[in-house]
Amino acid sequence: MTFTDNELTDKKFQKELNSGTAALVLLAVLERAQEPMYGYQIAKHLDTGSEEVPVKQGALYPVLRALEVGGLLESQVEPSVTGPPRRYYQITSTGRDTLRQWIEIWNRTKTFVESSLKGNRHE
């Protein structure tokens, strides 16, 4: 596959944005989940039906693992009826605290970016 320069820059920009938002989104999904979820369930939950999603499903798994290493999620492997054992993730109490702070940061960032895009000046 080849990309034009523009497409490459767009992809790079999207990737840079995703590096934080993917973690935020995953924490939020698992915070609201009633029970532990496995990777595909989470991906399916986030699937909007369109092929043009900002975060590819394949990019969610490394973030899940990184969040676990950071102690924000915990996981356990459980056997499944149909195939190989599955890794189920759930949020930890540190994860909940972190999510609360991240939502605040996200809201601040969102307001800041949106007002900048609209051309408002803070003077």
Question: Residue 38: beta bridge partners?
Answer: 88
Pick the piece of the chain touching another protein (CB under 8 A) from 26-34, 58-66, 99-107, 111-119.
58-66
Q: Give the x-and-dash track for 18-57 against another protein (CB under 8 A).
A: -x-------------------xx--xx--x---x-x--xx
Judge whether 68 and 60 are in contact, CB under 8 Å: no
Query: For 1-123, where are the E strands, in sequence order?
Result: 37-38, 73-78, 86-91
Residue 58 within binding range of another protein, rule CB under 8 A: yes
Alpha helices in 52-91 (DSSP H): 60-69
Residue ranges that bind another protein, judged by CB under 8 A: 1, 15, 19, 39-40, 43-44, 47, 51, 53, 56-59, 61-63, 65-66, 69-70, 77, 82-86
